[in-house]
Amino acid sequence: MATVQNPDWLTSNEMVIWLADTNFPYTTVDQMLKYIRFKWPNAFESVVLLGDDMPQSYAHWWCHCRVNYRKTKEALPKYINEPTERISNYLMWLDMLAIDISILKDEIHHEGVPRLYGNEILFNKGDPTKRHSRRDTVKFIVDKGKQVFEERGFYKGLQWWENQCKVVNSL
């Protein structure tokens, strides 16, 4: 697996090769990735490292750069999901929930422990009609972490994440 450190999207070979293909999609990242997976599957084998950011597949990096460049003229990838530093927060929240679930058998929201209310994690009690169970909160946090890795095409990271979440998912 090749590693590419701080590549320049504007001068990448794919600007010529991929964009010369008249069938290359111009709409969404997902459509571009599906096409790349079919035509140039080795693009997923290379890993891009940008500063302190989470590793990402070359194909994901390139497509997200392209979409962002078309919107902002900035040749950097922009992702929908939370920034990568959130993964450490997610792990801490899952640990707090694991302790809460293991020790306390009630579904009361204990202050300071993360709980899902609607689509938002709160640490203080919120509207009881929007409060989800602790297990729903765990699932929400695990899914958010999964989305961070998947959006970047960082599949080894996704495997690590799923391994980290095994214990709390089993409670």
Instruction: Quote the tokens at residue 60.
Output: 């994901």
Same domain, 125 and 165: yes
User: Are 58 and 130 contained in the same domain?
Assistant: no
73 phi-psi bin (left φ>0, alpha ψ -120 to 50, beta other): left
Residue ranges of alpha helices (H) inside 78-127 are 86-103
The domain of 40 spans 3-72
* Chain mean position to CA 38: 23
**Residue-wise pLDDT tens digits, 13-26:** 999 999 999 999 98
Q: Is residue 78 part of a domain?
A: no
- Per-residue pLDDT band for 52 (boundaries 50, 70, 90) equals confident
Predicted structure pTM score: 0.90
Q: Cα separation of 76 and 10, whole Å? A: 10
CA distances from 130 to 75, 104, 126 (A): 40, 21, 8
Domain match, 95 and 159 both: yes
Residues 161 and 128 in one domain: yes
Work out the mean pLDDT of the chain and round it to a whole number.
Answer: 94
Number of domains, the chain:
2
Residue 40 lies in a domain: yes
Residue 115's φ and ψ, nearest 5 degrees, are -145, 140
Which burial class, exposed, middle or buried, applies to 50 when counting CB atoms under 10 A from its CB (0-12, 13-18, 19+)? middle
* 127 to 47, 109, 116, 117, 130: CA distances (angstroms): 43, 11, 11, 7, 6
pLDDT at site 82 = 72
46 with 91, same domain? Answer: no
Q: What is the pLDDT of residue 163?
A: 96
- pLDDT, one tens digit per residue, over 102-131 is 999 999 999 999 999 999 999 999 999 999
Tell whether 52 and 99 lie within a shared domain: no
